């Protein structure tokens, strides 16, 4: 009986810690705590539906990984993640849910994974460096433009214990768009129609 109670306590502690798992640092998206929490919780619910790990949590392990979360208003949410291996290769994981990026997360419907060669991995990492990902501001400077239908482009990275997130709304140019499309098209080999990229 004691063993059963102990096991139940461990299970409940595990589920509580999983529920309290943080995906983003404090005030990553807005200086206003309430607005920041609203954005962070929104992205967190999609990442949980995609059954994605917290890269913020993985930063503690010394992992090097890159993730692109693509939330288009009327299309299925997509996450593309690259985890670097010690031998110079990487593991590419692509996940899709049944939801709509501007509405609800839905349920995980597709997961694919494949190993990328050293050459593919080096090419990606060199582009991350060239585009100055680690120097990008997390948020765009405030402006008066209000986005309605569009897409959130959220790029995360962890390397050497450091975590970085960059958040953009429907970028038409710039490093976030370039890296996002690289991960979707060049790395994940997704077939995308021109009108579906926004």
How high is the mean pLDDT of the chain? Answer: 89
- Answer whether residue 17 is part of any domain: no
Confidence category of residue 149, pLDDT binned at 50, 70, 90? confident
- Answer whether residue 10 is part of any domain: no
- Answer whether residue 156 is part of any domain: yes
Is the pLDDT assigned to residue 191 strictly greater than 70? yes
Is the pLDDT assigned to residue 14 strictly greater than 60? no
Is the pLDDT assigned to residue 186 strictly greater than 70? yes
Residue 192: domain span: 23-196
- Answer whether residue 152 is part of any domain: yes
Look at residue 18 in the predicted model and tell me its pLDDT.
52
Look at residue 19 in the predicted model and tell me its pLDDT.
59
- Answer whether residue 5 is part of any domain: no
- Answer whether residue 1 is part of any domain: no
Look at residue 142 in the predicted model and tell me its pLDDT.
67
Is the pLDDT assigned to residue 7 strictly greater than 70? no
Number of domains in the chain: 1
Tell me the per-residue pLDDT of 40-62, one tens digit each, with 9 for 90 and over.
999 999 999 999 999 999 999 99
Confidence category of residue 143, pLDDT binned at 50, 70, 90? low
Look at residue 66 in the predicted model and tell me its pLDDT.
98
- Answer whether residue 9 is part of any domain: no
- Answer whether residue 7 is part of any domain: no
Look at residue 195 in the predicted model and tell me its pLDDT.
92
3-state SS, the chain, equals: CHHHHHHHHHHHHHHHHHHCCCCCCCCCCCCCHHHHHHHHHHHHHHHHHCCCCCHHHHHHHCCCEEEEEEEECCCCCEEEEEEECCCCCEEEEEEEECCCCCCCCCCEEEEEEEEECHHHHHHHHHHHHHCCHHHCCCCCCCCCCCCCCCEEEEEEEEECCEEEEEEEECCCCCHHHHHHHHHHHHHCCCCCCHHHCC
Tell me the per-residue pLDDT of 90-120, one tens digit each, with 9 for 90 and over.
999 999 999 999 999 999 999 999 999 999 9
3-12, 79-88, 111-120, 138-147: segment of lowest average pLDDT:
3-12
């Amino acid at each position: 009986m004691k063993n059963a109670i102990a096991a139940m306590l461990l299970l409940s502690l595990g589920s509580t810690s999983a529920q309290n798992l943080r995906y983003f640092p404090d005030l990553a998206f807005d200086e206003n705590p309430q607005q920041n929490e609203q954005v962070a919780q929104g992205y967190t619910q999609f990442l949980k539906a995609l059954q994605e790990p917290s890269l913020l949590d993985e930063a503690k392990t010394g992992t090097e990984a890159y993730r692109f979360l693509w939330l288009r208003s009327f299309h299925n949410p997509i996450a593309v993640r690259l985890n670097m291996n010690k031998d110079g290769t990487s593991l590419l994981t692509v996940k899709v849910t049944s939801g709509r990026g501007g509405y609800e997360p839905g349920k995980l419907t597709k997961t694919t994974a494949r190993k990328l060669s050293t050459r593919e991995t080096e090419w990606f990492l060199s582009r991350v460096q060239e585009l100055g990902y680690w120097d990008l501001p997390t948020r765009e400077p405030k402006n008066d433009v209000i986005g309605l239908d569009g897409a959130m482009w959220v790029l995360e990275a962890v390397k050497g214990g450091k975590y970085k997130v960059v958040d953009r709304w429907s970028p038409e140019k710039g490093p976030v768009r370039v890296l996002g499309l690289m991960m979707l098209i060049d790395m994940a080999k997704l077939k995308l129609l021109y009108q579906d990229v926004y």
